[in-house]
Every structure is written in C-alpha cells, then in structure tokens.
Amino acid sequence: MKKVFVATLWLGLVASCLSAAMVEPGWIDARAVWFLHADVEAVLGLPLVKECPIMKTDAPLPGRRWQAVTEKLGLDPRRDLLDVTVYATQYEGDVGVMLIHLRSYDRGRMLAFLKERRPVFTASQHGDLPLYSWNMRYKRGHLEVTGAMPREDLLVIGADAGHVRAALDVLAGKRPGLAPDAPLLRGMEAGALWMCQAIDVPEDYRVTTWCPVLRQVKSASVRWWNSGDRVWGRYLLHAVNAETASLVAQAVEGLKAMFALRFAGHPPVLALLGGVSSKADGAFYTFAWQGTFEEIKAAAILLHQMHPRKKRPDASPANPADPQKP
C-alpha cells in the first residue's frame, strides 16, 4: 500500500507540473478516439520543479544515455522539449502516433543518431518525406516503429506505418484534423494542465483490453488545471452501468480510509488526502482532488524521509555490480 500511495502522489505531482497550453486540434486526426497532451515547456516555469536538481539546465543530465543524447543531438529535453501529443484513431491493435514538438533540431544529426542506435532500419518515402522504420522490444516480442521529420521543430513517431502516414497527411492539411469543438476535446479548455480523454470505447474492446479502466467505461477523461499555487484534478468516468460506478466510488473511499489510518499523525499526507472527493451519480463517477504545490512538496519530503532511496553500489570499474557496465 505504501508503494501505491507513493506512486499516486508522484503521478499527481507530475500531472501538476505539466502545465499545458491548449492542444493544437488541427494536429490530431479528426477520426481520433483518444488523445493525451502535455506542455513540457511550462515545467521549467514552476518553482516546485525548479527546485529539483535534475531540472537545473546548468547541470548535466544524469546517466550516460541522456548525456549522449545531449552531446550528439545538441538537444536538452529540459530546455528544448516543448510539448507532446499522443493519439490513436482506433482502440484495437498496437497503434498510435506521438507528436514531439521541439524548439528545433538538426535533421542530419537526428538521422545519424538513429543510424547509430538502430543500425538495422528501413527507409521509405511518403511523398517527398523520408520515413524510417525499426523494431523495438515491446512486451514479450517486438514492435515496428516508424518515424518522420516533417518540420524542423516536430517529430512524428508511431506504431504502424499506415497510421504515421495518415498523421503526416493531417499535419500537411491533406486529411481533416479535429475541430476545436470536437467531442474528443470537450472539457479540455485552454489553461488545462495535463489532459487525456477517451470516447466511444467499443464493447468488444472492453472485453479484450488489458486496461482496467477501459474495461469498465464507455468514456473517460482526466484534466488537471491550476490557479496560482493551487492545483485541481478531475477524473470523470462514464461507466458501463450505475453499479460499476458505485463500486468504483466505494473502492476509492476504502483506499482513502486505509491511507488515512496508515499515515495518521503525518499532517502533510493527511492534507493531501483531505483534498480528495469521490462521487457516483448514476453511471457517472467523478474523482477530484485539490491542493497546493507547497502541500505536495511537504508530503513528498515526508515520504522521502520515511522511505529513503537505497544508495546504489559503488560505480567503479572494479565493482562487478557497476550499473554503468553493459
């Protein structure tokens, strides 16, 4: 239960830090059934994030892989990554498209980095635009991923080359994108924080999906927003029936009570729990939370003190446990 609470707190913290501008509707295929959007650039403007050592742009990124990315691509994700949008036009299959919006990048360096990291890849064309496909480990097998560089500030990566081609056509205006008032964007007003929405979940997909949420809902949305130092979050589920919505509400209230018992005598954590509300109304279930960045910070510090991270083994060449060794 401790790990569950820490994970929940961390997700809330991350969501609160990803202060997102409104998603670009025209970048998303009009046929999309779910999407996720986060504006990473705004992270650097939040005092809570600035205090994190890893977010200080004058310090090197930890780990050899991140340092290699910075050196070979000339990119620092803390400075150059603006926002990320992910969407799919269907639920079935391992498909989906990710749009990575950067300040700018060098196509030559990006391609050289791909050839170094993925020496076995295939190249094809979509009009005048080169496409690059390679295999990645996925679950217990492999998944073919296709990427393209349509603009000097945008990367498109996705599973299934056909979906990537369709996404490129949307960006080029050859396919329709979402209208600003599209049902998929309903409730996702400008000024929202990290946001995600799924609509019209098919009944047959609910039977086969691994996702415990999508198995029980017809639609679902997540929205975080803030004003000053206060943060709000809302999860809205349209369950398959009223009984399911009621059971979800009961389960959440039970977890809330258990966490309250576990962290009794720890005001910072109880303050976060006090911001939770849970309600079922027919087949609709709403989970909401509100709090401040200072409350999140205080709870995070307390949990770190209660469960400090174990020190890694000495990373010396003579140490067989050296985590830097391949």
Q: Is residue 133 part of a domain?
A: no
R_g of the chain computed on alpha carbons: 22
Contact call for residues 179 and 160 (beta carbons, < 8 A): no
Distance CA 118, CA 198 (A): 33
Q: Is residue 48 part of a domain?
A: yes
Q: Check whether 5 has a pLDDT greater than 50.
A: no
Tell me the residue type at 265. Answer: G
Distance CA 12, CA 2 (A): 15
Contacts (Cβ under 8 Å, ≥6 apart) of 30:
170, 175, 176, 177, 178, 179, 182
Q: Is residue 157 part of a domain?
A: no
Average pLDDT value for residue range 302-322: 64
Average pLDDT value for residue range 285-304: 93
Q: Is residue 251 part of a domain?
A: yes
Strands (E), the chain: 34-38, 81-88, 96-102, 122-126, 129-138, 141-151, 154-159, 192-198, 217-227, 230-239, 276-281, 284-292
Q: Is residue 147 part of a domain?
A: no
Kindly report the backbone phi and psi dihedral angles of residue 318, in degrees, each rounded to the nearest multiple of 5, phi listed first.
-80, -10
Domains held by the chain: number: 1
Query: Which structural domain range is residue 271 located in?
Result: 2-94+180-306
Q: Check whether 192 has a pLDDT greater than 80.
A: no
- Read off the tokens for 227: 């004003």
Distance CA 38, CA 22 (A): 9
Class of residue 222 by CB neighbours under 10 A (exposed 0-12, middle 13-18, buried 19+): buried
pTM of the model: 0.81
Mean pLDDT comparison of 10-19, 166-175, 187-196, 294-303, highest-scoring range: 166-175
pLDDT digits (tens, 9 = 90+) for 122-175: 999 999 999 999 998 877 778 899 999 999 999 999 998 999 999 999 999 999
Q: Is residue 253 part of a domain?
A: yes
Q: Is residue 118 part of a domain?
A: no
Q: Is residue 150 part of a domain?
A: no
Band of residue 225 on the pLDDT scale cut at 50, 70, 90: confident
Distance CA 86, CA 36 (A): 5
Q: Check whether 9 has a pLDDT greater than 70.
A: no
Can you give the pLDDT at residue 311?
62
Reference 20, options 300, 292, 226, 181; nearest CA is 226
